[in-house]
Amino acid sequence: MRTGLLILSIFVFFSLCGQDAGIYQTYTILDNGNTEYYHGGINNGGTIPYSGHSFGSVTKLTLKGGEIKSWKNNGGDVTGAKLYYRIYVADPLPDPLPDFTELDLPWSENDIDGSGGNQKWAKTDYSTDVLAGLNASETYSLEVYWKITSNVGDRFDNNAGENFKSTFTVDTSLSEEDVEQHMTTSIMSNEIYFHKTGTFEISVFNLLGTQVKHFKNTFSKGHIMPLNIKKGIYILQVKENHRFYNYKILMN
């Protein structure tokens, strides 16, 4: 009996130790006139590298989604996939940097690329307007990383924690009306006007990148909120759902 239990214990031990899962390809999908796949740090699949890529001066940039290809073996099980992104002024860097927005990448296919344990997780029809609320002529970073969840823990493609960054400049041809057409807030003299009811996260940074104000609350349409900040030049960031709106403001 003891021998049988010992053999069973050894079998369970080695079975558990052999469980594993991971990522073998990642992509983010962006449209700046043409929809392109940009690869992360694992197995590029012949696509454009995302890290260090410059989109140049753009009049359109839409985040359409992303893709992860995962593997699993010996009882490992992948249970979900995510793409994370954030947008911020490239120079000077805000301090702290804004939080990441999470995009879900649902299961798409099993048994891909000739292996029964490989799966694809993908979403290609998001319509996140990256330029919404940004300032013409300003250069921004779009930072991303990918994650899968599994029964053996989370696995990342995140460039050893440094993540993957591209840059773009909002074209000077975009008028203030073009840039602000999707905005849900307006900045007046030391005040924010809310065009809709919703939950907003507000951050104010000085030109050294230091955060001088931060708050999150639900505001009603038509509400006017005083900023009460001193004279100077600031970067004000408004987050609402998956959108970031950035303003450069001068307080006299």
- Cα 120 to Cα 233: distance, rounded to the nearest angstrom: 46
Asked if residue 224 and residue 160 are part of one domain, the reply reads no
DSSP β-ladder status, 54-58 and 164-170: parallel
Asked if residue 105 and residue 70 are part of one domain, the reply reads yes
Please indicate, yes or no, if residue 5 is contained in any of the structural domains. no
- Cα 130 to Cα 248: distance, rounded to the nearest angstrom: 17
Mean pLDDT of the 156-183 span: 79
Which token pair is 77?
Answer: 């099980």
Please indicate, yes or no, if residue 11 is contained in any of the structural domains. no
Q: Whole-number mean pLDDT of the chain?
A: 85
Please indicate, yes or no, if residue 175 is contained in any of the structural domains. no
Q: Which amino acid is at 156?
A: F
Backbone angles phi, psi at 13, to 5 degrees: -60, -50
Name the residue with tokens 């993908």. 122
Domain boundary pick from 139, 170, 201: 170
Instruction: Give ∠ CA 188-218-135 in degrees, rounded to 5.
Output: 40
The number of beta carbons lying within 10 Å of the beta carbon of residue 29 is 20
Asked if residue 159 and residue 201 are part of one domain, the reply reads no
- Cα 56 to Cα 58: distance, rounded to the nearest angstrom: 6
Asked if residue 193 and residue 115 are part of one domain, the reply reads no
| CA 54 to each of CA 32, 176, 230: distance values in angstroms, whole numbers, following the listed order | 12, 23, 35
What's the pLDDT score for residue 97?
86
Asked if residue 235 and residue 191 are part of one domain, the reply reads yes
Domain boundary pick from 116, 135, 170: 170
What's the pLDDT score for residue 242?
61
Asked if residue 127 and residue 29 are part of one domain, the reply reads yes
Please indicate, yes or no, if residue 105 is contained in any of the structural domains. yes
Among 118-122, 124-128, 214-218, 247-251, the least confident range: 247-251
Asked if residue 165 and residue 89 are part of one domain, the reply reads yes
CATH number at residue 149: 2.70.50
Please indicate, yes or no, if residue 39 is contained in any of the structural domains. yes
Asked if residue 198 and residue 145 are part of one domain, the reply reads no
Looking at the chain, how many residues does it have?
252
Asked if residue 50 and residue 163 are part of one domain, the reply reads yes
Asked if residue 152 and residue 27 are part of one domain, the reply reads yes
Asked if residue 198 and residue 103 are part of one domain, the reply reads no
Domain boundary pick from 170, 191, 218: 170
- Cα 70 to Cα 168: distance, rounded to the nearest angstrom: 30
Q: ω into residue 96 within 30 of 0, thus cis?
A: yes
CATH number at residue 197: 2.60.40.2550
DSSP single-letter state for residue 1: -
| CA 14 to each of CA 20, 58, 77: distance values in angstroms, whole numbers, following the listed order | 12, 54, 17
- Express each pLDDT in 15-44 by its tens digit: 445 899 999 999 999 999 888 999 998 877
Please indicate, yes or no, if residue 177 is contained in any of the structural domains. no
Among 86-90, 135-139, 246-250, the least confident range: 246-250
150: nearest Cα among 71, 67, 65: 71
pTM over 0.95: no
Asked if residue 108 and residue 38 are part of one domain, the reply reads yes
Query: pLDDT confidence of 243, banded at 50, 70, 90?
Result: low
Q: Which amino acid is at 219?
A: F
Domain of 233, in residue numbers: 183-251
Mean pLDDT of the 88-106 span: 89
Query: pLDDT confidence of 50, banded at 50, 70, 90?
Result: very high
What's the pLDDT score for residue 9?
42
Domain count, the chain: 2
- Cα 199 to Cα 216: distance, rounded to the nearest angstrom: 7
Among 50-59, 116-125, 192-201, the least confident range: 192-201
Mean pLDDT of the 200-221 span: 87
Query: pLDDT confidence of 46, banded at 50, 70, 90?
Result: confident
